């Protein structure tokens, strides 16, 4: 950006929306014009009032204090002599209040913009028009804008110049766009306008989603639209948004008197319903109201359909969970006063995410933020980009299962796309994380200190508990082993000497067995850690290792001796059966429970859990009308009440991680570690009569891999397509094995 200076509004001007503008005098015919621009906040760029490009919420969400992306647009066709170039900026993630404490996270405290228009003339000369203190600052029609609280736009206010922009020096680094662009996708028509028992007018879009509502209308000058958003109705059919907590999600528009189009410029909402709190005195024309879906522009790579409509709906909910929460940063939910890059949620869903969509660029960017935010001692904050929560920034909780995202996400992305660069970029950060754990307590080979989120929202610690019953010591030590195993594999792929970490891994497993499963016995109680090092807390005072999640982690992370494996698998099955063939697992046990079963010869029980309809189960939410994944197993209870107002999102994708089992085991397609990116795959379908058939595929860099299986009476037929460059090792349920490559194959047995 040649000669471009960061600019801000004049010192005494405070408004949510700010426009920076200049005129572009062109003396000669032009060959090409390219705009480079960015903002700390969010912006829309215009030439002569026409929006440039289709990005929304640019420049996206980064660790603004350290880096901010800039975007590049070809504007050759838009530019004329004397054109006005303007940047309409708002607070966005950088300056809106974020987290439950509504903290502002950009140190400078004001919206700043930067731009450079490079004009290449026909005669070969080049000229740059760059931001500086000659640019004018104007008021915008955006009077209020916050990520959580919504936006106010008033089309009756006159745009006026409030003075020249001020040049400022800010320390953040400008980097070219790394992630995917955020753009608008589907436009959903309302399925119904109705009046609730309370007498409120509500529009249902039929799908929980992330984005915003667009209105086209002509009303009297000064008339208002005010809408609030909700994901669900309560049991009486009334509009319910208490689960948004403090986030107001209120959009207010003041009409100009002419034809108006309204939608937010600097924010978004998560919703299925809107309530019309105010509306002009005109007929409501549903044809002019659309819910616009907004997310990162990732290529859809996966497809799935089966013969069970409920599982198809579950798949639909997983996809919409991803669309709703892959908005530049992988978030927990898109609606309440969070919408944050929680690392635990991200790591559990990452494998599923990489089957459904091409998420390489998306993760490359977010992992960059993770590395920036990683503490000096290697601790990985629970939220990336870090936001302040009640005044805590650097001291933000470091939790097992959350921080491990630093190892798990690069590894999953590597398996999905086979690109070593992602491992290379993150190897040091992985190592720092493992070293952090190694030094976290007074036990080198176990992690027995710290404050963790544990098996979040599991059902086995009592009705109103957030944290499940499983010992945090056990979970933390199990994840310590898992992350170390990933570090070792990564190091070997990169040709590094990781013998020290191989030894560390062996010692962790050895100590894990001694401490948590002495003589092959699962303990229901542990001795308390003797004395925690100064300044650390011990949290594991009453938790147990005798839970489904404990067994799942022990089995899936290979932490027991081989001779005890069958015994533990049987124990897990028994616990599930004793619980009415249901899970008790939370965020950390659930993603692996079906794997732990099928890896130990119990795909039959895995299917029973998958198809279970009583809570806790995946199909419970499907039966209760879910169109996205719920945060809690019974977010909406049988009697129509809500499990809590506090932690009750209806668009939390974490439990959607089940799709990596459906695709990897039921359909049976898994990338191989020795030839990642689906260059070589294992295909091992596990057919089920309850599913009837599956037809699923993934578009890889080498072409489409597709597996179809279906029943005809008791015979299962398989149709498998493998691209030319891919080698597939097929194993059918009978044990029949063969190698397939470059063709369409049929089998039956
Ligand atoms: C979020 C979660 C997150 C958790 C930490 C919640 O408030 O919504 O999904 O991982 O806090 O336990």
Write the pLDDT tens digit of every residue in 4-39: 999 999 977 878 899 999 999 998 999 999 999 999
Distance (Å, rounded) from C-alpha 707 to C-alpha 152? 50
Is 532's pLDDT higher than 60? Answer: no
Phi, psi angles (nearest 5°) of residue 576: -65, -45
CA atoms within 13 A on the CB side of 747: 21
CB 431 within 8 A of CB 483: no
Interval between CA 628 and ligand 1 midpoint (Å): 17
For 46, residues 6+ apart whose C-beta sits below 8 A from its C-beta are 52, 84, 85, 86, 87, 88
Residue ID of nearest Cα to ligand 1 atom 8: 332
> And the tokens for 56?
């929304």
Question: For residue 643, what pLDDT is reported?
Answer: 87
Distance (Å, rounded) from C-alpha 335 to C-alpha 211? 10
Query: For residue 652, which atom of ligand 1 is closest to its CA?
Result: 9
Is 537's pLDDT higher than 60? Answer: no
Binned at pLDDT 50, 70 and 90, residue 611 comes out as very high
Distance (Å, rounded) from C-alpha 692 to C-alpha 713? 10
For 614, residues 6+ apart whose C-beta sits below 8 A from its C-beta are 580, 582, 620
Question: For residue 312, what pLDDT is reported?
Answer: 98
Interval between CA 332 and ligand 1 midpoint (Å): 7
Interval between CA 369 and ligand 1 midpoint (Å): 19
Residue in 344, 349, 404 to alter for ligand 1 test, most ligand atoms within 8 A of Cβ: 344
Interval between CA 258 and ligand 1 midpoint (Å): 45
Question: For residue 77, what pLDDT is reported?
Answer: 97
Mean pLDDT computed over 180-192: 98
Counting every residue written for the chain, the total comes to 749
Binned at pLDDT 50, 70 and 90, residue 624 comes out as very high
Question: For residue 527, what pLDDT is reported?
Answer: 60
Interval between CA 419 and ligand 1 midpoint (Å): 30
Phi, psi angles (nearest 5°) of residue 658: -60, -25
Interval between CA 717 and ligand 1 midpoint (Å): 43
Give the pLDDT confidence of 290-335 residue by residue, as tens digits. 999 999 999 999 999 999 999 999 999 999 999 999 999 999 999 9
Distance (Å, rounded) from C-alpha 542 to C-alpha 540? 6
DSSP state, residue 100: T
Give the pLDDT confidence of 35-83 residue by residue, as tens digits. 999 999 999 999 999 999 999 999 999 999 999 999 999 999 999 999 9
Interval between CA 301 and ligand 1 midpoint (Å): 28
Query: For residue 631, which atom of ligand 1 is closest to its CA?
Result: 9
Of 142-156, 389-403, 533-547, the least confident: 533-547
Interval between CA 688 and ligand 1 midpoint (Å): 34
Interval between CA 613 and ligand 1 midpoint (Å): 25
Is 452's pLDDT higher than 80? Answer: yes
Question: For residue 533, what pLDDT is reported?
Answer: 52
CB 741 within 8 A of CB 722: yes
CB 633 within 8 A of CB 615: yes
Coil, strand, or helix at residue 491?
helix
Mean pLDDT computed over 408-431: 98
> And the tokens for 115?
């731009």
Residue ID of nearest Cα to ligand 1 atom 7: 647
Of 187-196, 220-229, 511-520, 596-605, the least confident: 511-520
Question: For residue 445, what pLDDT is reported?
Answer: 96
Is 1's pLDDT higher than 90? Answer: no
Residue ID of nearest Cα to ligand 1 atom 11: 342
Residue ID of nearest Cα to ligand 1 atom 12: 453
Domains in the chain with CATH codes:
7-179 (2.60.120.260), 184-296 (2.60.120.260), 302-667 (1.50.10.10), 672-748 (2.60.420.10)
Query: For residue 466, which atom of ligand 1 is closest to its CA?
Result: 12
Is 541's pLDDT higher than 70? Answer: no
Residue ID of nearest Cα to ligand 1 atom 3: 342
Beta bridge mates, 201: 195
Is 272's pLDDT higher than 80? Answer: yes
Distance (Å, rounded) from C-alpha 80 to C-alpha 65? 36
Interval between CA 647 and ligand 1 midpoint (Å): 8
Query: For residue 332, which atom of ligand 1 is closest to its CA?
Result: 9
Question: For residue 651, what pLDDT is reported?
Answer: 98
Mean pLDDT computed over 612-625: 97
> And the tokens for 11?
């010192």
Residue ID of nearest Cα to ligand 1 atom 5: 453
Residue in 324, 332, 341, 389 to alter for ligand 1 test, most ligand atoms within 8 A of Cβ: 332
Mean pLDDT computed over 516-540: 68
Residue ID of nearest Cα to ligand 1 atom 9: 332
Is 705's pLDDT higher than 90? Answer: yes
Query: For residue 343, which atom of ligand 1 is closest to its CA?
Result: 10
Give the pLDDT confidence of 350-376 residue by residue, as tens digits. 999 999 999 999 999 999 999 999 999
Residue in 342, 387, 633, 654 to alter for ligand 1 test, most ligand atoms within 8 A of Cβ: 342
- Residue in the block written with tokens 């091409």: 358
Is 529's pLDDT higher than 60? Answer: no
CB 185 within 8 A of CB 323: yes
Question: For residue 449, what pLDDT is reported?
Answer: 85
Distance (Å, rounded) from C-alpha 410 to C-alpha 489? 12
Question: For residue 2, what pLDDT is reported?
Answer: 85
Distance (Å, rounded) from C-alpha 430 to C-alpha 408? 9
Distance (Å, rounded) from C-alpha 264 to C-alpha 249? 11
DSSP state, residue 242: G
Query: For residue 333, which atom of ligand 1 is closest to its CA?
Result: 8
Using alpha carbons only, what angle is made at residue 382 by residues 381 and 386, rounded to the nearest 5 degrees? Answer: 60
Residue in 270, 331, 338 to alter for ligand 1 test, most ligand atoms within 8 A of Cβ: 338
Question: For residue 667, what pLDDT is reported?
Answer: 98
Mean pLDDT estimate for the chain: 95
Is 546's pLDDT higher than 90? Answer: no
Interval between CA 363 and ligand 1 midpoint (Å): 20
Sign of CA dihedral 85, 88, 95, 410: negative
Give the pLDDT confidence of 111-135 residue by residue, as tens digits. 999 999 999 999 999 999 999 999 9
Query: Over pLDDT 90: what percentage of the chain?
Result: 89
Query: For residue 649, which atom of ligand 1 is closest to its CA?
Result: 8
Q: Which residue has the higher pLDDT, 654 or 106?
A: 654
Residue 572 belongs to what H/E stretch? Answer: helix 562-578
Query: For residue 587, which atom of ligand 1 is closest to its CA?
Result: 10
Distance (Å, rounded) from C-alpha 177 to C-alpha 190? 34
Query: For residue 453, which atom of ligand 1 is closest to its CA?
Result: 12
Residue ID of nearest Cα to ligand 1 atom 1: 332
Distance (Å, rounded) from C-alpha 228 to C-alpha 621? 24
Beta bridge mates, 383: 342
Question: For residue 534, what pLDDT is reported?
Answer: 56
Binned at pLDDT 50, 70 and 90, residue 86 comes out as very high
The set of protein residues with a Cβ atom below 6 angstroms from ligand 1 is 332-333, 338, 342, 344-345, 453, 456, 652
Mean pLDDT computed over 686-698: 97
Ramachandran class of 320: left when φ > 0, alpha when ψ lies in -120 to 50, beta otherwise: alpha
Max CA pair span of the chain: 85
Q: Any alpha helices (H) in 232-391, and if so which ranges?
A: 309-325, 343-356, 360-373
Query: For residue 336, which atom of ligand 1 is closest to its CA?
Result: 8
Interval between CA 272 and ligand 1 midpoint (Å): 22
Binned at pLDDT 50, 70 and 90, residue 461 comes out as confident
DSSP state, residue 389: B
> And the tokens for 610?
């998958």
Interval between CA 344 and ligand 1 midpoint (Å): 8
Query: For residue 342, which atom of ligand 1 is closest to its CA?
Result: 10
Give the pLDDT confidence of 718-729 residue by residue, as tens digits. 999 999 999 999
Mean pLDDT computed over 673-690: 98
DSSP 515-538: HHSGGGPPPSS-PPPS-PPTT---
Question: For residue 526, what pLDDT is reported?
Answer: 66
């Amino acid at each position: 950006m040649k000669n471009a200076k960061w600019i801000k509004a004049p010192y005494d001007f405070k408004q949510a929306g700010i426009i920076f503008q200049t005129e572009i005098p062109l003396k000669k015919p032009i060959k090409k014009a390219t705009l480079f621009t960015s903002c700390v906040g969010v912006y829309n760029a215009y030439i002569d009032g026409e929006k440039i490009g289709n990005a929304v919420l640019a420049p996206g969400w980064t660790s603004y204090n350290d880096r901010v992306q800039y975007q590049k647009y070809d504007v050759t066709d838009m530019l004329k002599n004397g054109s006005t170039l303007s940047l309409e900026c708002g607070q966005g993630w950088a300056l809106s209040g974020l987290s439950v404490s509504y903290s502002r996270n950009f140190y400078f405290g004001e919206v700043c913009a930067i731009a450079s228009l490079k004009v290449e003339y026909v005669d070969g000369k080049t000229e740059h028009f760059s931001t500086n203190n000659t640019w004018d600052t104007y008021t915008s029609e955006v009077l209020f804008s916050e990520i959580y609280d919504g936006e106010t736009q008033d089309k009756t206010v006159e745009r006026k110049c409030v003075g020249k922009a001020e040049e400022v020096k800010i320390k953040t680094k400008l980097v070219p766009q790394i992630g995917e662009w955020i753009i608008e996708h589907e436009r959903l028509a309302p399925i119904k306008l109705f009046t609730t028992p309370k007498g409120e007018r509500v529009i249902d879009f039929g799908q929980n989603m992330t984005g915003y509502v667009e209105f086209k209308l002509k009303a009297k000058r000064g008339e208002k639209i005010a809408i609030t958003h909700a994901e669900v109705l309560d049991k009486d059919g009334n509009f319910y948004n208490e689960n948004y907590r403090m986030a107001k999600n209120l959009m207010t528009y003041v009409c100009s008197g002419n034809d108006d189009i309204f939608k937010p410029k600097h924010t978004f909402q998560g919703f299925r319903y809107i309530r019309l709190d105010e509306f002009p005195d005109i007929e409501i024309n549903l044809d002019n109201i659309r819910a616009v879906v907004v997310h990162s522009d990732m290529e859809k790579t996966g497809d799935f359909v089966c013969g069970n409509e409920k599982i198809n709906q579950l798949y639909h909910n997983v996809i919409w969970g991803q669309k709703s929460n892959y908005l530049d940063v992988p978030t927990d939910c898109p609606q309440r006063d969070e919408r944050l890059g929680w690392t635990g949620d991200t790591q559990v869903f990452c494998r599923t995410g990489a089957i459904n969509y091409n998420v390489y660029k998306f993760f490359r960017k977010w992992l960059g933020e993770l590395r920036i935010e990683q503490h000096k001692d290697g601790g990985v904050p629970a939220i990336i980009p870090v936001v302040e929560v009640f005044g805590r920034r650097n001291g933000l909780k470091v939790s097992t299962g959350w921080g491990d995202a630093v190892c798990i996400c690069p590894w999953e992305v590597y398996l999905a796309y086979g690109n070593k660069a992602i491992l290379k970029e993150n190897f040091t950060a992985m190592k720092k994380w493992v070293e952090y754990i190694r030094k976290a307590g007074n036990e080198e080979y176990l992690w027995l200190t710290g404050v963790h989120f544990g098996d979040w929202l599991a059902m086995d610690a009592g009705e109103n508990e957030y944290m499940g019953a499983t010992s945090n010591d056990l979970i933390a030590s199990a994840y310590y082993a898992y992350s170390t195993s990933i570090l070792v594999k990564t190091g070997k792929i990169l040709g590094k000497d990781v013998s020290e970490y191989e030894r560390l891994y062996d010692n962790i497993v050895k100590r894990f067995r001694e401490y948590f499963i002495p003589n092959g016995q699962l303990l229901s109680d542990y001795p308390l850690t003797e004395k925690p090092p100064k300044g650390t807390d011990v949290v594991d005072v009453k938790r147990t290792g005798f839970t489904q999640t404990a067994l799942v982690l022990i089995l899936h992370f290979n932490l027991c001796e081989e001779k005890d494996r069958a015994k533990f698998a049987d124990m897990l099955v028994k616990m599930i059966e004793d619980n009415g063939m249901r899970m008790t697992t939370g965020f950390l046990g659930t993603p692996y429970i079906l794997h732990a079963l099928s890896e130990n010869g119990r795909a039959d029980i895995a299917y029973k859990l998958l198809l279970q309809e009583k809570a806790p189960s995946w199909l419970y939410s499907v039966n209760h009308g879910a169109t996205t994944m719920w945060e809690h197993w019974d977010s909406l209870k049988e009697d129509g009440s809500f499990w809590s107002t506090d932690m009750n999102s209806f668009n939390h994708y974490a439990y959607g991680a089940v799709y990596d089992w459906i695709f990897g085991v039921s359909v049976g397609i898994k990338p191989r570690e020795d030839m990642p990116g689906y260059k070589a795959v294992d295909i091992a379908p596990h057919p089920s009569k309850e599913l009837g058939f599956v037809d699923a595929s993934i578009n890889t860099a080498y072409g489409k891999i597709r597996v179809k299986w279906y029943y005809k009476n008791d015979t299962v037929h398989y149709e498998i397509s493998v691209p030319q460059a891919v080698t597939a090792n097929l194993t059918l349920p009978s044990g029949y094995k063969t190698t397939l490559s470059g063709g369409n194959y049929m089998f039956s047995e």
